[in-house]
Amino acid sequence: MDLLDKKFLLAPGPVPVPPRALLAMAKPVIHHRLPEFSAVLQKIRADLKYLFQTQEDVLFFASSGTGAMEACVANLFSPGEKVIVIRGGKFGERWGELAETYSLNPIYIDVPWGEAVKVEEVENTLKTHPDAAGLLIQAHETSTGVKHPVEEIASLTRERETLLVVDAISALGVYPLPFDELGIDAMVAGSQKSLALPPGLSFVALSARAKEKAQKTTSPRYYFDFRKELKALNKETTAFTPAVSLLYGLSEVLSRIREVGLETLFAHYRRLSGACRAGVMALGLELFAKTPCEALTIVKVPQGVDGAKLMKLMREKYKVTMAGGQAKLKGKVVRIAHLGYQNELDVILALATLEMALTELGYKVKLGAGVSVAQEYFFG
């Protein structure tokens, strides 16, 4: 490998993978119907319950997180049923696209990108549509960096027949989302975010009433069928061929999460995101999200700077891959992720890269200003 070509990955998925997980995934593949695999599966089931903070089984599929989102729509709702969709970013729009694909009747709450949905608006919509079968929301909208008030919204849906379905793909393990305690009905996650694994696994936790609803719905489904997977799990197996090597890695990562503890993990993300936000503001740059999440920091590209050139310069010259904006935010923001196998020095790297790239493009920032503030934050 060319020593001058070392690359750094600071995008919100895929993310850097720890060596322990990489080594686990390099183990010889075993057949997924053998007792040896059932033993691995049994441990994973217990550890997923710990991560999701639930007593219920967590299903998993060989897919990206979108597969689990589609599985929720297909399994929990029938054609024609109303679902309330919080649409405040690219992935809120995805809930709506899935609902329309399965011939549901989506009721949209459109939220300005960069802002969180107002609890009062959700409550009013629930009152206006008491027959809504579900409410679909992001815990954290990865395209905008916004954290939605899931806890407060869960207190509204618990009192109704409306199922609360939460996309926590970039939020699970980043901040507290205790599934059972909040009364969430379905929560989705993916392997390539805080779990620090390659893409390819998705997860769904289901409440008792969500499982009951899945037995009654009439939408077509085959691979993404909760009924099949629940039945298979009861036999310590899976309905279809699982991603065996990824599951080796998952088992290793979940063991590490148990060793560290959820509260320590949550504090780690608060620390990294807090330092990054402080560093960004010290450079005179503006944060995009008004209610930011701990998973990533989204920075507005300053006026006069070409966002596409900025991303390309950081990626090609400095070998640091961050993420740009999606859809209407393309070229307008930089998304710095704190997910996966990262620590304090990754924040310093991100800020230093941003400082150098902006300077090279002619935008005046004080070199080291963001880095020094982040360092002070870490030592504060």
Predicted confidence (pLDDT) per residue in 95-142, tens digit: 999 999 999 999 999 999 999 999 999 999 999 999 999 999 999 999
Domain extent for 337: 3-15+261-379
**Co-location of 299 and 217 in the same domain:** no
For the cut 50, the answer to whether the pLDDT of residue 30 exceeds it is: yes
Q: How far apart are CA 86 and CA 106, in angstroms?
A: 10
pLDDT value for 2 = 59
Enter the tokens of residue 323.
């993420």
**Co-location of 297 and 251 in the same domain:** no
**Co-location of 241 and 341 in the same domain:** no
Enter the tokens of residue 216.
């009654």
Question: What sign does the CA torsion over 235, 239, 240, 244 have?
Answer: negative
Domain containing 373 — which CATH number? Answer: 3.90.1150.10
Kindly indicate the confidence band of residue 4, based on its pLDDT and cuts at 50, 70 and 90: low
Chain centre distance of CA 200: 14
pLDDT value for 171 = 97
**Co-location of 111 and 132 in the same domain:** yes
Kindly indicate the confidence band of residue 3, based on its pLDDT and cuts at 50, 70 and 90: low
Kindly indicate the confidence band of residue 1, based on its pLDDT and cuts at 50, 70 and 90: very low
Q: How far apart are CA 200 and CA 196, in angstroms?
A: 12
Residue ending a domain, choose from 260, 289, 316: 260
**Over the stretch 362-371, which tens digit does the pLDDT of each residue have?**
999 999 999 9
- Give the mean model confidence (pLDDT) for residues 256-270: 97
Domain containing 78 — which CATH number? Answer: 3.40.640.10
**Co-location of 227 and 361 in the same domain:** no
Q: Can you give the pTM of this predicted structure? A: 0.96
pLDDT value for 5 = 80
**Co-location of 150 and 9 in the same domain:** no
Domain count, the chain: 2
Bridging pattern class, strands 202-206 and 58-61: antiparallel
Residue ending a domain, choose from 238, 260, 282: 260
**Over the stretch 289-304, which tens digit does the pLDDT of each residue have?**
999 999 999 999 999 9
Q: Could you report how far apart the first and last alpha carbons of the chain are, in Å?
A: 39
Residue ending a domain, choose from 208, 232, 260: 260
The total of other beta-carbon atoms located within 10 Å of residue 234's CB is: 9
**Co-location of 252 and 267 in the same domain:** no
**Co-location of 274 and 219 in the same domain:** no
DSSP strand E in the chain: where? 8-9, 58-61, 82-87, 105-110, 134-138, 140-141, 146-147, 163-167, 186-190, 202-206, 296-300, 320-321, 323-324, 333-337
**Co-location of 219 and 265 in the same domain:** no
